[in-house]
Chain A
């Protein structure tokens, strides 16, 4: 399992990283934790001449807790998301989801930026970020821009990020006090991607619902959230079932996935409701 060779770079600021991306175009890729990219490179499903390691860029690190929003650097690992007390208090849904990703070793390396930028429908963070209404900051040759998580995903491995842009930070509005939340995931074993997963928030007369690995992008449904906000659980589930579009694969046939999706969503709703006050 040896990947193709590459030139290795470890720049210490965003500008240098962007300029290497610019110089080499689609021959270059950034590497964060490497726990999606390296397996793909080992299978030779990804191959690039220039690999830009983001680990020395301090501007991509750290978690800031504000009163209205939290900001998370792209290079923050899943392990840090789990162990950061301020973050668990401000947005407890993140820890609940991160604990269900992969296994301890992967979580020490895997980053939030890599997880949301990857574009793999199996990744848990994109749906989570849509539920939370996060915004992604992108830095590229033309400067900095922000894209809402709900607008970011176009198709499997296709996102609104341009090849020459780096995802730098993620901003998440702090949910109002008393907001109920839950992340529920069905997987075949520890370290597996979801057969179906649901992120749910309910509070202050609103609700937000997103699901993972049931289409080629995460699915956030406005209609499902509106139904749930009005207390109509069946309406929420049926709106969501209309929005997902699973395909048959080694996690099961379509009918099974739809069944599991509805069960997981109902469980997530029940837990979120029980936590709302």
Chain B
């Protein structure tokens, strides 16, 4: 099969590369673009470690062909840092509240939580758990992940209020 000329915007930068249409988006990101934040946990659409933000949707990049993502805007965990390169609020809160142990699930968790807070800036604990149900963690028992996201919501809301 011939390769296609793939173009997309990743973390605000236009990128391109050659890939067969059947290439999974996660492989294109990791191998062609060297963007290794999104991880491959299961490769079978179950664990959420590969979650990226694709045109404003949280998606499992192991279950998207690169051809489907042609021309789209992507954000990965690398794109969620502050402008000066320091940790973004969600990342900082995961650090502060021990929202990770081994860290394998964390890029997917943070990228998913980012979209969740965009859609629901004041989630209840139950809404956080429901909204994060597509991401599996084998270490933390989830308690501190939920805490980290709740703390990030509070911080982001306080920042927004201060700016107004």
B-binding residues in A (CB < 8 A) = 1-8, 10, 31, 34-35, 38-39, 41-42, 51, 53, 55, 79, 102-106, 108-109, 190-191
Contacts and interface: CB of A to CB of B under 8 A. Distances in A.
A104 B112 contact: yes
Given A8-B21, A39-B63, A109-B63, A191 B46 contact: yes
Given A53-B68, A191-B46, A3 B112 contact: no
B54 to A, nearest CB: 8
B64 interface: yes
Given A6-B1, A8-B21, A42-B44, A34 B64 contact: yes
Contacts of B45: 35, 38-39, 106
B59 A109 contact: yes
Contacts of A1: 24, 43-44, 62
A105 B130 CA distance: 11
Given A3-B22, A51-B21, A104-B112, A79 B57 contact: yes
Closest 5 CB pairs between A and B? A103-B134, A5-B1, A8-B21, A108-B57, A105-B134
A31 B64 CA distance: 11
A191 B133 contact: yes
A35 B20 contact: no
B30 to A, nearest CB: 14
B60 interface: yes
A53 B72 CA distance: 14
B120 to A, nearest CB: 11
A3 B23 CA distance: 8
B139 interface: no
Interface of B: 1, 4, 20-22, 24, 43-46, 48, 51, 57-60, 62-65, 67-68, 70, 112, 116, 130-134
Contacts of B22: 2-6, 41
A93 B67 CA distance: 35
B5 to A, nearest CB: 12
A41 B65 CA distance: 11
25 contacts: A1-B24, A2-B22, A2-B24, A5-B22, A6-B1, A8-B65, A8-B67, A10-B67, A10-B70, A38-B63, A38-B64, A38-B65, A39-B45, A41-B22, A51-B21, A53-B68, A103-B48, A104-B112, A104-B130, A104-B133, A104-B134, A105-B58, A105-B112, A106-B134, A109-B59
Contacts of A102: 134
A102 B63 CA distance: 14
A12 to B, nearest CB: 13
B46 to A, nearest CB: 7
Chain A CB within 10 A, most for which of B22, B48, B64, B131: B22
